[in-house]
Amino acid sequence: MDGYAPEASPPPPPPVASESKDDDDDDGNDDNTSDADDGDADVIDRILLRLPVNALIRFLCVSKEWSALINSSNFIKKHLNHSIETNSDRTLILNETFVNPRLQSRWFSVPYSDNDQFGKAVQIYQPLHNWKILDYCHGLVCLSFYNSYEKKKDIAIWNPLIRKYRKLPSEPIDKPSGSLYSFYSSFGFGYDPSNNDYKVVRITQFYERVFFEVKVYSLKSQCWKKIEKQWPIKGIRSKQSVSLNGAFHWIVVQNDGSESILAFDLANEKFRLYRKSRNEDLLSLEVLGGCLCFMNCDPEFPDYYDFWLMKEYGDESSWTRICKIELDAEPWNFEYFKPLLFSKNGKKILMEGIDLIWYDITTKRGKKVKNRSFPKRFKTATCIGSLLLLDGDNVIDLKQKKNKRKRNEFLTEGLNLLAKFAAKM
């Protein structure tokens, strides 16, 4: 957390109401004092809501009253809503890639200012060895790790700004009768606003029978649930879903070979199909600017890609093409790219490719983000300041833990020498 938010001085702690000297005093002073205390507490509440999460973590030790306030679910939700509405306390989390698998990949946090500038990348400690970014939402990053021994993916949810995480319990795959092995499992992570809950979905497709198993993990109940409704489509093309408006979304292939977008609503546990705007190949499905976004390519014109937004969620007629990315948009690399966010004025899109690139919608040109503190290759998660997962497990920095142990051993040795010296006197 250090390095990407300014130091903040705590506002004065809330006043403690003094006891009345005369229990029989009926002049109303107690009511006036109580009203004043409530007013002061309301002011402090409003001040704390505007502070970045790293300052709030420090203020947990100011008093029991402050700790109870900051840990309360109501305050955590109000603080998150304020961060979203004001688009403040924004950070990029970078996961270094293409490193020696025997070494631990590094993670960095990068502050992102209101003028679309990026600060210095500060290395942070990840909770688990060599896990990868699966998805992210509201300051939480969902991590995955392929367990080659058990041939399954392990999942964890991490709040990098407050250094808390929770590893999900292992959940078996219920194979249908006659099935020997599964094809693959894809995962998604997102928010369920109807239940104020964060959930992970796992879709498992089997080889022998055209069969899908759907299970959902709830961060609130901390358990998995099997979805009894049958997966309505025979083919799934995107290995990972995207989450928006309380639903998960995948690119699927229908029986006639055409592609559509399948949504699974977390509130009513129902599936729904959305048609795309044109009969072209869907290359990827993302969320951009709070809208569903897909990228497609016309096989007859392979020298450019189109980006489309669903301006009104659920309305298929609202698909709008926002830009056309041409192959000569240097320094572009078309092997991989993903839209992350709009610039403040909405005229540029921050793209993740081999590097971070600002793509100008008007000029149709890309410009590489130059920052010497960035690792050479990385995957990106966009985070907004939140206190979610305050009750999670602590992320322990092994280097700090080792230095602390050495310091304690040094102090213990010094105290033993003092004790021996005192005994001889």
pLDDT at 195: 93
Question: pLDDT tens digits, the chain, 425 residues: what are they?
Answer: 444 444 444 555 444 444 444 444 455 555 554 554 555 678 888 889 999 999 999 999 989 999 999 999 999 999 999 999 888 889 999 998 876 666 778 899 999 987 889 999 999 988 787 788 999 999 999 999 877 766 678 899 999 999 999 999 989 888 777 666 666 788 999 999 999 999 999 988 877 666 788 999 999 999 999 998 878 877 777 777 899 999 999 988 877 777 889 999 998 888 999 887 666 677 789 999 999 998 887 666 667 788 899 999 999 899 999 988 876 665 555 556 789 999 988 999 999 988 899 999 998 888 899 999 999 889 999 999 999 998 888 887 655 544 555 555 545 654 565 555 456 65
- The tens digit of pLDDT for each residue in 120-160 reads 999 998 878 778 899 999 999 999 987 776 667 889 999 99
Name, in order, each residue with C-beta under 8 angstroms of 65's C-beta and a sequence gap of 6 or more. 13, 14
pLDDT at 2: 42
Distance CA 13, CA 66 (A): 8
pTM of the model as a whole: 0.81
pLDDT at 377: 87
Q: Is 161 exposed, middle or buried (0-12, 13-18, 19+ CB in 10 A)?
A: buried
pLDDT at 11: 52
pLDDT at 331: 59
pLDDT at 425: 57
pLDDT at 7: 43
Residue 146 one-letter amino acid: Y
Query: Which token pair is 388?
Result: 């979610």
Q: Is 224 helix (H, G, I), strand (E, B) or coil?
A: strand
Q: What is the DSSP string of 323-335?
A: EEEETTSTT--TT
User: Quick check: 157 and 189 in contact, CB under 8 A?
Assistant: yes
Q: Is 424 helix (H, G, I), strand (E, B) or coil?
A: helix
The H-or-E segment that residue 404 falls in is: helix 398-424
User: Quick check: 358 and 348 in contact, CB under 8 A?
Assistant: yes
User: Quick check: 24 and 30 in contact, CB under 8 A?
Assistant: no
